[in-house]
Amino acid sequence: MTDYAPLMAMAQRAREQSYSPYSHFRVGAALLTASGKIYTGCNIENAAFSATVCAERTAFFKAVSEGERAFEAIAIVGGKEGETAPFCAPCGVCRQVMAEFCRKDFKLILGNESHFEVFTLDMVLPFSFTQDDLS
């Protein structure tokens, strides 16, 4: 089985860059591509709240904008300022973005550095609407 601990550690490090002066909820993500490259992201909030972007989408959009199209796994770490939650699940919008670019067996590594669990995209977003539905 793949060792996801280093990916989790990178998500934790990315979390340090979180810009979250409104919610004080800091999230970091580390996205592993099929070619083995890693793109990190953090949440970036805005005074106009709807302009906020989650850590996961920051990582995905960085990667996609660099030409990446094939992804293996994403590690996600979050929690209120000063603490790390035992588990930070991605929001529905981020799951939908994952469904655009990832297969059903794409892995989500959720937890923190001391304990994490591996889920698949199909587990966290069953019955998803994808490009297949438009064809």
Least distance from ligand THU to the Cβ atom of residue 68, Å: 20
Closest by CA position to 122, among listed 94, 95, 101, 87: 95
Beta bridge partners of 116: 111
72 is catalytic: no
The token pair that represents 82 in the structure block: 């000063």
Q: Report the residue number, 23 or 33, with the smaller CB distance to ligand THU.
A: 23
From the list 58, 1, 7, the residue with the least C-alpha distance to 36 is 7
Binding residues among 56-115 for ligand THU as defined by CB under 6 A: 56, 90-91, 94
Sign of the CA dihedral with 1 first, then 69, 37, and 120 last: negative
The one catalytic residue among 16, 45, 56, 100? 56
Contact 44/19 with Cβ under 8 angstroms? yes
Other C-beta atoms closer than 10 Å to the C-beta of 122 total: 15
CB of 43 to ligand THU, least distance (A): 3
DSSP label of 131: G
Q: How far is the CB of 134 from ligand THU (least distance, A)?
A: 26
* Residue with Cβ nearer ligand THU (81 or 105): 81
Site string for ligand THU, 19-58 (x = CB under 6 A): -x--x-x-x---------------x-x------x-xxx--
Tell me which residues touch ligand THU (CB under 6 A): 20, 23, 25, 27, 43, 45, 52, 54-56, 90-91, 94
> Which residues are annotated as catalytic?
56
